[in-house]
Homo-oligomer: A and B are copies of this chain.
Amino acid sequence: MMSTAIFYHAGCPVCLGAEQMLANAIDSKKYTIENVHLGTHAKRIKEAEEAGVKSVPALVLDGEVFHINFGAAIADLKN
């Protein structure tokens, strides 16, 4: 049975590229990967909350929540 990887985010423009890099690193042979933008798909917020998501970006692997702090260095914002 395929495992499921759901990547919840909110479309942060600074972080999105890096976040997708993480999502793309997931093995698609093992995982069905879904990207959910909670800003534009607010009706899925409840599902995310019920899975235990406290902040975004978060990766949920078979129901296990990983909160990701990629963050953005202030220095990067100045570039």
Contact = CB atoms under 8 A, between A and B. Distances in A.
A5 B64 CA distance: 20
Contacts of A25: 3, 5, 26-27, 30-31, 61
A66 to B, nearest CB: 5
Q: What band does the interface of chain A fall in when counting residues whose beta carbon is under 8 Å from B? A: 20 to 34
Interface stretch (A34-42, A43-51, A68-76): A68-76
Given A27-B27, A28-B27, A22 B59 contact: yes
Interface in A3-43: 3, 5, 18, 21-22, 25-31
Interface of A: 3, 5, 18, 21-22, 25-31, 59, 61-62, 64-71
The 3 closest A-B pairs by CB, nearest first: A27-B27, A67-B69, A25-B26
